[in-house]
């Protein structure tokens, strides 16, 4: 059996390793950090626990399938809990909407806020998302990216919908009249780090999936998923070498034959006893090739504030969105001017709503996330800029006048992460969350494929490659890579 080296212990890296071990391959993981999970991390301070990356699971069946397919019962590893409310949305004029996961309850809520006609628009919108989902679930999300996968009879008949150039925002304009609903459905573009004014209408698949499969949360926190995967690695005898940062590679005859690691920021170590390499990141130009770095159209990054909040608020649900006043300007700032938006949309996740142990009695753990541009020359996250922006975000939350007084008085502590921290902690390109953005079909096609074009024995897994970002898709990426390796090249393009 061939021996595999996997660089990066993010979700995609660990899932690939486990699936391949289940098929009988021997593999070893090399991870630069001293923990597993990559962007899925956690943070503890003063009796508070926070998930520092993902906060919402939307395709629970993907995780269930993974455990079934390796002959394990998911319940022995992760307890996925359905949420009653996927998100509470707030607008500055006092309007709010609960996205209840019970469809009848949601219908009542939706109609009471936006009326019957808009609800019909919503159902028609979902049909659109359903169409894209059904077209892509097996052929694209669960398979290697191949042009011929699009060329089914139905795909050819509907090719216009795929290449029409219509954006998510165009779709919102088609189905909704109220600007608030347009904003709500446009926001789904941010799930893969894109702008709704640029990204394809194909991504209407995202709200469809959320509506159909609901919103989920693993008991004990999102980080339980990373822990479960690390535990499975142990059970399969897959060693994770922490503190090993890939610094260079060498190759011969189209194959990578040596990986050089910097170990704990000091010594160098070379590994050459492997046949196949899987990379869980795309930050190395020698692996991805120069073309990948040429467009510079990176997906968004994030500005995060972890806040210990000295009150339990009835205003918040587990997931909350406070919308900006001008969405178009917000995305122009992020993707064209490449500066943090002055008038920003603020997401607050409070896992303490499900997990009382995540915060001391009478308090809450607020994970505050704002979309921000990937690192670039137009803005630098100096210490001053970082704290100034934090003040702006707090002002924005205060401006909704939902919390009595200034919320600053209730902040016990705050810990801030900027795009510069994303770069340092995850090694992601320019601090972006998903590598190249999905803002155009052109950049989407430039994302590295699961099987590298540059080396015969190199594969990519994770959110920066096919089928895309987000925890469930990273699980699918690991599945696809393991299947390509299992099947050899027999299904090549």
Ligand X SMILES: Cc1cc2nc3c(=O)[nH]c(=O)nc-3n(C[C@H](O)[C@H](O)[C@H](O)COP(=O)(O)OP(=O)(O)OC[C@H]3O[C@@H](n4cnc5c(N)ncnc54)[C@H](O)[C@@H]3O)c2cc1C
Interface positions with ligand X (CB under 6 A): 7-13, 30-33, 38-40, 53-56, 245-246, 280-281, 283, 302, 304, 369, 426-428, 433, 462-464, 469-471, 474
User: Smaller CB distance to ligand X: residue 31 or 297?
Assistant: 31
What is the nearest approach in angstroms of ligand X to the Cβ of residue 480? 12
Please identify, using beta-carbon distances, which residue of 410 and 438 lies nearer to ligand X. 438
Q: How far is the CB of 261 from ligand X (least distance, A)?
A: 7
Minimum CB separation of residue 93 from ligand X in Å reads: 27
Q: In the complex with ligand X, which residue's Cβ is closer, 169 or 428?
A: 428
Nearer to ligand X, 36 or 121 (CB): 36
Nearer Cβ to ligand X (114/281): 281
Smallest distance, Å, CB 91 to ligand X? 22
Looking at beta carbons only, is 121 or 431 nearer to ligand X? Answer: 431
How far, rounded to the nearest angstrom, does the alpha carbon of residue 128 sit from its chain's CA centroid?
Answer: 23
Nearer Cβ to ligand X (38/308) = 38
Residue 154 C-beta: closest distance to ligand X, Å: 28
Contact 248, 39 (CB under 8 A): no
Could you write out the three-class secondary structure of the chain?
Answer: CCEEEEECCCHHHHHHHHHHHHCCCEEEEECCCCCCCCCCCEEEECCEEEECCCCCECCHHHHHHHHHHCCCCHHHCCCEEECCEEEEEECCCCCEEEEECCHHHHHHHHHHHHCHHHHHHHHHHHHHHHHHHHHHHHHHHCCCCCHHHHCCHHHHHCHHHHHCCCEHHHHHHHHCCCHHHHHHHHHHHHHHCCCCCCCEHHHHHHHHHHHHHCCEEECCCCHHHHHHHHHHHHHCCCEEECCEEEEEEEEECCEEEEEEEEECCCEEEEECCCCEEEECCCCCHHHHCHHHHHCCCECCEEEEEEEEECCCCCCCCCEEEECCCCHHHHHHHHHHHCCCCCCCCEEEECHHHCCHHHCCCCCEEEEEEEEECCCECCECCCHHHHHHHHHHHHHHHHHCCCCCCCHHHHEEEEEEECHHHHHHHHCCHHHCCCCECCCCHHHHHHCCCCECCCCCCEEECCCCCCCCCCHHHHHHHHHHHHHHHHHCCCCCC
| Residues in CB range of 306: below 8 A, 6 or more apart | 43, 45, 48, 50, 52, 365, 366, 367, 368, 414, 415, 416, 417
Residue 236 C-beta: closest distance to ligand X, Å: 18
Q: Does residue 395 contact residue 376 with C-beta atoms inside 8 Å?
A: no
CB of 51 to ligand X, least distance (A): 9
Which among 435, 17, 425, 274 has a CA at the least distance from the CA of 260? Answer: 274
CB nearer to ligand X: give 159 or 285. 285
Q: Between residues 176 and 217, which has the closer beta carbon with respect to ligand X?
A: 217
Which residue's CB is nearer to ligand X, number 92 or number 354? 354
Give yes or no for a contact between 368 and 52, defined as CB atoms under 8 angstroms apart. Answer: no
| Minimum CB distance to ligand X, residue 54 (Å) | 3
Nearest residue (CB) to ligand X, 69 versus 117: 69
The distance of closest approach from Cβ of residue 319 to ligand X in the complex, given in angstroms and rounded to an integer, is 9
Which residue is associated with the tokens 């991805």?
Answer: 288
Of the pair 121, 352, the CB lying nearest ligand X is at 352
- Nearest-approach distance from CB 239 to ligand X, in angstroms: 14
Least distance between ligand X and beta carbon 70 (Å): 17
Nearest approach, Cβ of residue 298 and ligand X (Å): 13
């Amino acid at each position: 059996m061939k021996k595999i080296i996997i660089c990066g212990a993010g979700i995609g890296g660990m899932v690939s390793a486990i699936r391949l071990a289940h098929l009988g391959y021997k593999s070893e993981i090399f991870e630069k950090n001293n923990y597993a999970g990559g962007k899925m991390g956690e943070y503890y301070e003063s009796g508070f626990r926070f998930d520092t990356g993902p906060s919402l699971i939307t395709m629970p069946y993907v995780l269930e399938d993974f455990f079934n397919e390796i002959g394990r019962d998911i319940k022995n590893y992760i307890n996925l809990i359905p949420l009653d409310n996927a998100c509470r949305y707030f607008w500055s004029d006092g309007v709010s909407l609960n996205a209840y996961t019970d469809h009848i309850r949601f219908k009542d809520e939706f109609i009471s806020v936006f009326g019957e006609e808009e609800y019909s628009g919503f159902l028609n919108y979902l049909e659109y998302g359903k169409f894209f989902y059904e077209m892509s679930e097996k052929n694209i999300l669960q398979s290697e990216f191949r042009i011929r996968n699009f060329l089914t009879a139905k795909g050819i008949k509907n090719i216009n919908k795929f290449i029409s150039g219509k954006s998510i925002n165009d779709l919102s304009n088609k189905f909704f009249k109220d600007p608030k609903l347009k904003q709500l459905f446009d926001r789904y573009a941010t799930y893969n780090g894109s702008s709704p004014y640029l990204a394809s209408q194909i991504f209407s698949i995202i709200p469809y999936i959320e509506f159909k499969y609901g919103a989920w949360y693993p008991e004990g926190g999102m980080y339980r998923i990373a822990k479960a995967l690390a535990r499975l690695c142990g059970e399969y005898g897959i060693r994770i070498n922490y503190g090993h940062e890939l610094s260079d590679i060498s190759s011969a005859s189209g194959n990578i034959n040596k990986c050089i690691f910097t170990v704990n920021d000091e010594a160098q170590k070379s590994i050459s006893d492997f046949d196949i390499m899987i990379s869980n990141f795309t930050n190395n130009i020698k692996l991805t090739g120069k073309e990948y770095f040429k467009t510079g159209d990176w997906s968004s990054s994030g500005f995060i504030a972890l806040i210990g909040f000295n009150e339990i608020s009835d205003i918040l649900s587990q997931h909350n969105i406070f919308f900006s006043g001008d969405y178009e300007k917000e995305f122009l700032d992020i993707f064209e001017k490449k500066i943090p938006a002055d008038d920003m949309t603020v997401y607050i996740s409070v896992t303490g709503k499900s997990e009382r142990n995540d915060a001391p009695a009478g308090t809450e753990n607020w994970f505050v996330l704002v979309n921000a541009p990937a690192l670039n020359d137009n803005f630098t996250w100096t210490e001053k800029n970082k704290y100034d922006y934090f003040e702006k975000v707090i002002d924005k939350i205060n401006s909704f006048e939902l919390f009595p007084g200034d919320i600053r008085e209730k902040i016990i502590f705050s810990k801030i992460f900027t795009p510069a921290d994303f770069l340092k902690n995850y090694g992601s390109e320019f601090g972006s969350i998903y590598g190249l953005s999905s803002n155009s079909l052109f950049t989407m096609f430039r994302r590295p494929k699961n099987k590298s074009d540059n080396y015969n024995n190199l594969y990519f897994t994770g959110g920066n490659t096919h089928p895309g970002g987000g925890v469930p898709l990273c699980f699918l990426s690991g599945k696809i890579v393991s299947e390509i390796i299992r099947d050899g090249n027999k299904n090549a393009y």
